Amino acid sequence: MSRFEVSSNGQHIGWSDLELGDPPMGVAFGVFVPGPGYSRIQGQVRASTQRDQRHFNFTVRIVGGEEIRASGASIADYSADCGADAIELVVLGIEYPDYGEVFPEHVEAYRRQFEI
């Protein structure tokens, strides 16, 4: 499984393994692990959880690789109420064939659901 770096307006803010996904919807998500740069925007992210976050200009890239082409990304930060591990990164609108190339384990898990 790959690791993914997350940036906001060009500044590195943390990473995620994007360990879960919904291939037909082109969605990948997982626990977000904050880096040192996240603290400067954390309050704003918390205030905008479940709201439009386009102004953060989140980008996600494979560590040492290319940016994931997606419609957008968002962070849901519930860490103030639920603990440090209650921050989730969601990447939306990842097109095929890119999704299958970046997340083959998600595609395989989805296919296994329908095996008899």
38-55 pLDDT, tens digit per residue, is: 999 999 999 998 899 999
Domain residue spans of the chain: 4-112
Does this model's pTM top 0.75? My answer is yes
Summary mean pLDDT of the chain:
94
Q: Which residue pairs from 37-45 have beta carbons closer than 8 angstroms and sit at least 24 positions apart in sequence? A: 37/8, 37/11, 37/12, 37/13, 38/13, 38/14, 41/8, 41/13, 42/77, 45/75, 45/77
**Token pair recorded at residue 44:** 């704003």
